[in-house]
Amino acid sequence: MKTCQKILDLLKQQGPMTAAGLAESLGLTSMGVRQHLQAMEAEGNLAYEDISEGRGRPARYWNLTESAQKHFGDRHSELTLRLIDSVKVIFGDAGMDALISHREATSEQVYLERMAGESTLAGRIGQLALIRSEEGYMATVANEGDVWWLYENHCPICAAATSCQSFCRSELMLFRRLLSEDVTVERSEHIIEGARRCAYRITKAIAE
């Protein structure tokens, strides 16, 4: 196992530790451990806090960041798929539809509250992208004249959406309601169909 992963494992198990404590546990020199710590900090996996322990210089304690969690096992996708299968078996398709509708309604309420102060289409799209990024979708916005694009470069619910595409249909319908009736929203790229990202083409309806 690489030294960096050993450091991550120790901090996960023991909590915040000093470079000296890590070095002793790993049988390495403090200088060598500090080099790894600095590199891992630059990668965004570690942060530190200087804590006073009486006289002398504060002790520097290293700890994991949220980003570091990706280095540990995560079976949430497997659990999600099992839960979806259980809902279908116990409650049938109607139960699955009810679950998705409830998720959609809850999301809509939260999104509307966040977007309430946005009076322009550009503002609403920008706020929607911000919310989606906070949820893990890595959303960005682009503008080409009268056409706006909402790009989602990651899908944190990909396993669920692949198993039940009603999740994707629900999100598309949600976007259409959020961006008002005089706006057309079309999905032109779709991650679960093999695309690199999900892309939504947004245009204002032409007044007759």
pLDDT digit string, tens, across residues 41-73: 999 999 999 999 888 889 999 999 988 877 876
- Which CATH class, in words, describes the domain spanning 76-204? alpha beta
pLDDT band at 75 (very low <50, low <70, confident <90, very high): low
Residue-wise over 150-165: b if at least 16 C-beta within 10 A, else e? bbbeebebebbbbbbe
Q: Residue 208: what pLDDT?
A: 42
In the chain, list all ranges with CATH 1.10.10.10: 3-71
Instruction: Name which residue leads in pLDDT, 175 or 93.
Output: 175
> What predicted TM-score, i.e. pTM, was given to this entire model?
0.63
Instruction: Name which residue leads in pLDDT, 205 or 154.
Output: 154
Q: Residue 160: what pLDDT?
A: 80
3-71 domain in CATH 1.10.10.10? yes
Q: Residue 206: what pLDDT?
A: 61
